[in-house]
Amino acid sequence: MEKVKALVVAVITTLLISGCSSPVEVEKLGSCSKERRVVVKNHITKQINALTAGDWQKAYNYAAASFQESVSLNLFKALISKQYLFLISNDGITFGKCTNTEQGINQIVLIDYQGKKRTLSYDLTLIDKRLGVVAANEIEQTDQVAA
């Protein structure tokens, strides 16, 4: 009976952990398919929603395994709190271009924050049909004035 309980717990734990990442298929380089865009959007949205809710562990679970191996949960929390506060307190998000790259997937995300748009370039990996956020880098917008 104990073996059955242990097996059930292991299966449920696996399902809960794998539920944090979305299964996706391999695609050609270039623009993401409609299906891929939906899966990537859902993955990033869930991570941002977890940050907004203050659920650091859940947000961290959407990160790639390679990220988690080099960045602890405490460091993740400190980085987001100091450098990406606009993710936690955002006023809405919009998704831009999604591209399949040799390294994985790149998704542009516009974050509404205090009346301004902040642009993030998300890099995700696809390993064993599971997405994971590797990095989110802010793209500085420059105001170009004609001379």
Residues 6+ apart with CB under 8 A from 91: 112, 113, 114
What's the pTM value of the predicted model, to 2 decimals? 0.78
The partner residues of 113 in beta bridges, in order of sequence, read 116
Q: Of the candidates 126, 104, 95, which has an alpha carbon nearest to the alpha carbon of residue 23?
A: 126
Please give the share of the chain, as a percent, with pLDDT higher than 70: 78
pLDDT, mean over the chain: 84
Q: What confidence score (pLDDT) does residue 26 get?
A: 62
Q: CATH number for the 22-139 domain, one of 3.20.20, 3.10.450, 1.20.58, 2.30.30?
A: 3.10.450
Mean pLDDT of the 59-64 span: 97
Domain boundaries, the chain: 22-139
Residue 92's pLDDT band, with cuts at 50, 70 and 90, is very high
Q: How far apart are CA 50 and CA 112, in angstroms?
A: 17
Q: How far apart are CA 77 and CA 56, in angstroms?
A: 7
Q: How far apart are CA 115 and CA 104, in angstroms?
A: 32
